[in-house]
Every structure is written in C-alpha cells, then in structure tokens.
Structure 1
Amino acid sequence: MGIHDDGTLDGATPQKDEAALTLERRSLFGLGLASAAIGAAATGLLTPASAQAQTAAKSKLHIVKERGKLIVGTGSTNPPWHFQDASGKLVGMDIDLARLLAKGLFDDYEKVEFVLQGSDARIPSLVTDKVDIVVQWMTVTPGRAQQVEFTVPYYREGVGLLMLARGGKFKNYEELKAAGKDVTVGGMQNVFLEEWIRKALPQAKVDAFDSPDAAMQALNARRIDASMQDQSAMRWLMQQAPGRFVDSGFGWMPNSYASAVKPGDPIWLNWVNTVYKEAMMGVDFDYFAASYKKWFGIDLPIPKVGFPQEFA
C-alpha cells in the first residue's frame, strides 16, 4: 500500500493494482505424468518411496539444481530494493536475498540470472515459468495470494514523513500535528494521496507532484514542510545524504514485503522459507543484518540463543 520510487503503488486486489499504476500465484504433476503415476499405483508398481521420489523430482528445487542457476524476477530502478550502482551492477536488498538463495543452492552467490521486469509483470512471469521466483518488493495482499504463494515476509513497509533536518519550520511529527492547517505535505500524485496524508495529519494542506523527484525538490526548496514517502525510501535518502533529512518519527499504513513462487510446489516454497528464516534468525544472520544496515541503516538485534524466539 506504499508509494514507490517508480511511482507505483500496491492495492488490495490485482484489479486495483493495475488501476492504480499511475503512482506503481500447478499442479506438481503434468497431466500425463499424473495419469501414469495413478495407473502405476493402482497396479501396485509404485511404492510409497518411489511415489515420493517422483513427486520430489517435479519440484522447482530440483529443476533449478539440475539447470545450474537460479532465475529471479526483479526490477532495476527502485533503490534501495533493486537498482544499478555507479558501475552498472545490479544491487539492493532484493538482489542480496536472491544471491543468498543462489548461495544456498550452489554455494555460489553469482549463480543467479536476473530477469528485469516491471511491477505489473511479477505474477505473469511466475505463472508462465519465465522465472523461478520473484524477489521484487512485492506487497502481500489477499488478492495476490490467490494467484501466487508468498514466502515469509522479509520487510515491513509503511509510509512516513520526510523532513529537512535543518532550516525547516518543524522538527518532528508532534510539531507537524500541532500546527494543523499551517502544515503542507507533498507527495506523488495519485487518487489516494490526500486520504493517506490525512490519516496522519487530518488538517494538513496537500500538494501533489508529478514525480518523486519533484516532491523532493519542493522539500529542498522549503515549499512544503514534509514529503510523504515509503519508509524504506526515506531511510535510503537519509543514508545517501547524512544530516540533510530526518524522519518525522511517525509511520503508518503498514504492509509486508515477501518473495513469491508459483502455486502448488510445497518443496520449493519450504526451501525458500528455510533460507529466509535462517537468514533472519540463524546461520546467515550476519549476511542479512549487513544488508539491513547497508540499505536501511537499521541495526538488527542479534537473535537470542536458547528457545527460538520466533515461537515465543
């Protein structure tokens, strides 16, 4: 439900997603193989062990292993999630996660092929097997969950208010709210902009801009008091220009980012979830924590030793 740097937003249903792009889920058996397996089982030729092996052989996990590389759908224009650095290399939090999956599969972070795509191609690329997984700042919604299967979330997004650290009229959210109608907040033009801003600041004036860059220019010129942004984008901007910008201290409209796989393959989904969970809480925590620090400036607490705290 956040507004992204490419001007897209995530809605509650697939239809709403595409309508709001002005701002931004297989059977394990092929039909013939399924029939053959059923026939063999009926004649006593398929033992439980061989049936399990046949099912496992159909998993994307085994297909990817045999191919020798992972194919990932992602983007290239939305820092800090996926973008090209000064050397032209694809980097970002989504890219780090994709490389971690390749490391788990092949013991090689580089055995991954990235398919660059727009946000509207994420689900089609999965269901047509163009990619093995989508790692592309994808918001979890009930509508999308009818078409793809989501992994465990790896980030909780939300919107916030970016302000100038020096020279602005207000210093934090409390001052913004207290000022009432004397506050002007800008953001990327879309049908939800005023509604979203007024969830946080009911009396604020709202100024809509054609692009995120235009909103930032207005903030730098002090024509607006704050810019509504995704909180990940805010953290990235504060990382890039230390001391220039500050978070107002209030965030709202939370939504979860997760990766997505084609439905009907529990082996593949379980494997990806295992990698993500152990990155957040186990053997690959250092890698995951370094990515959070680099892209968001967030220091993750070291998981407690003893009883797994995720089950506490």
Structure 2
Amino acid sequence: MKLALKKLCGAFSLLAACGAAALAPAAASAQAQTDSRLDTILKRDKLIVATFSTAPPFGYTDEKGKLVGFDIDISRLIAKSLLGDENKVEFVSVTSEGRWPAVASGRADIGVASTTVYPDRAIRVAFTRPYIDSGMSVAVRKDANVNTLAELNSSKYTLANLSNPQMMDRQKRFLPDIKVLTFDTPSSQFLALKSGQAQAMQMDTPVLNWYAANNQELKVLPEALAVTSGNAIFMKQGDFQLWLWMDTMVQEMTAGSRYNEYTEIYRKWFGRNPPPQRFYSMAAK
C-alpha cells in the first residue's frame, strides 16, 4: 500500500513538473505580448521616430544634409522628456504611405510626420491628441493669374497631389475639372509647381505658407479646402501604456509643463506664438 502510494505521488510530481515546463514558454510568451513598447524604449535608451525628410517646415534635409524642422524639434523634446537627452532619438525617413507600416511593423516606435487625424486612419494606427492645429489650402504660381478656387477649376491647369485618398477626395470635391499629377513626397509636389509642370498644389496650410514666404513666385489662395484639423503623433494600436505617455506629453507641450519649450519651437518655425495655455488667475471672484 505504501509502495503504491509512493508511486502515485511520484507520478503526480512528474505530471506537475511537466505541466510547469509546458506552461513556462506560454507564460513567457504572454509576458512578451503584454510588455509595452514604452518599456522597450526605456530599456533601449533611445526613441525611434518615423518622419518625413521632404516636407518643410515640418521635416526636411537642409543644405548641410541635416534633418531639421518642427517635427524634428518636437521629437527631440519628447526624447528629452522621456529619456533625459534630446539626442537619444533616431529618425526613420518615410513616405506618405510608408509611415503606417513603419510603426505597424515595429521599425519605428512612433510617427511624428505632420499627420492629420482622420477616422479612417484611426483604424490603422492610434493617435494622440493633436500637437499642432492645421488646415488644407492650395498654393498657386502667380503667373497663372488665379485668385480663387473657381478660377483654378479648369482643365488648362494642373494640380500636384500627394498619393493619399484624402487629397484625391478634396480635389474631386473642390476642383473636379483640373488635371492632376500624383507624387509620393511633398518635395516632389513642390518641384512640379516650381518648374511649371503644375500650376497649383494642395498641402497643409502651414507648409504652403512656408513655401510662399520663401518663393516669391508663389501665393496661397485664401479659400480653405477643409475645416481646421489637427496633426497628431501616431503609433501601433493596442499599446495603452505607450499611447498614454505620448498623449500626456502632447498635453504638457500644448498646455502644461512643457509649454515654454513648445512655444520656442513653434515660434522658431512659424514666426508666431502657438495658441495660448489655459487661463489661470489667483484673483478672487
């Protein structure tokens, strides 16, 4: 009887050991799946950001070959706040369509690429709240002698577009009769306009204002193609910890503890102050 009981206990011990061994990889896998990308960034001690290198003043390569722009400086402020050093950031240059797989594949931690928030895009990536307000406008060559969208809506003119569905939809709605050339990068759009290959281009209003300020032959039409929208940081969906930290950082930049630094960056690239912080007064009611 004692011998049988001893054998039975031994069998149970073996089963328990086998079960624990079998469960260990599953537990490790589950832990790996629950680890936030935020933990990875902190362990790596470097932030990897997908951005544009051909979209001034947000992100572009200057005459010295250095990547500069509003989005670049914003990314450095994020790295400084997260890792204590603005230089602990690596940039991955992407195209308009390439920004989504860059974060979905894990090639980049986040995207800071003058990206407007749209509901259909929010199916593909997770957005923070906007870090800058924007809009959509049209820049034209002055020698086209066009002052309104109605005058531009003609088959004798050509519009330079980016290869994204939102631009295509706006063109069909506001300029259905115009000819269209489609490009992968904002710099290619601009070169088409600059060379006369196109007479107009649509883009974020701050970008067009920057181009017009630096190219006397261009002007921005006063009519907007869309209501005021927001550019936001984006990342792979499903990582609440990373999203929460980034969304909190945007809140602190635009209306909190990092507002002074954000203002310096905003003024540097746009020549004006950002929208003011929330009003606060110690005065008694």
TM-score under structure 2 normalisation? 0.70
Check whether the contact 2:58–2:207 (CA below 8 A) recurs between aligned residues. no
Task: State the 1:287 CA deviation.
Answer: 2.7
Please give the alpha-carbon distance, in whole angstroms, between the structure 2 residues aligned to 1:184 and 1:237. 23
Q: Where in structure 2 are the equivalents of 1:1-312 lying within 5 Å?
A: 31-33=26-28, 58-163=35-140, 169=145, 172-173=147-148, 177=150, 185-188=157-160, 196-197=170-171, 199-200=173-174, 206-209=178-181, 212=189, 213-218=191-196, 224=199, 227-241=201-215, 244-254=217-227, 255-306=229-280
Residue identity over aligned pairs, in percent, reads: 30
SS in 2 for 1:188: strand
Please give the alpha-carbon distance, in whole angstroms, between the structure 2 residues aligned to 1:249 and 1:206. 18
SS in 2 for 1:114: strand
Higher CA-based Rg: 2
Q: CA RMSD in A?
A: 3.6
Cα distance change, pair 253–132 in 1 and its aligned pair in 2 (3 A): same
TM-score under structure 1 normalisation? 0.65
Cα distance change, pair 161–89 in 1 and its aligned pair in 2 (3 A): same
Task: State the 1:97 CA deviation.
Answer: 1.8
Check whether the contact 2:52–2:95 (CA below 8 A) recurs between aligned residues. yes
Check whether the contact 2:154–2:178 (CA below 8 A) recurs between aligned residues. no
SS in 1 for 2:97: helix
> Which consecutive unaligned segments of at least 5 residues does structure 2 have?
1-24, 183-187
Check whether the contact 1:74–1:82 (CA below 8 A) recurs between aligned residues. yes
Cα distance change, pair 214–292 in 1 and its aligned pair in 2 (3 A): same
How many corresponding residue pairs?
Answer: 247
SS in 2 for 1:306: coil
Cα distance change, pair 264–227 in 1 and its aligned pair in 2 (3 A): closer
Check whether the contact 2:155–2:179 (CA below 8 A) recurs between aligned residues. no
Cα distance change, pair 168–73 in 1 and its aligned pair in 2 (3 A): closer
Task: State the 1:36 CA deviation.
Answer: 7.9
Residues 218-273 of structure 1: CA distance to partner in whole angstroms, max 9, x if unpaired? 39xxx95x5544323311212323x5543222212355422212222212111111
> Which consecutive unaligned segments of at least 5 residues does structure 1 have?
1-29, 38-54, 308-312
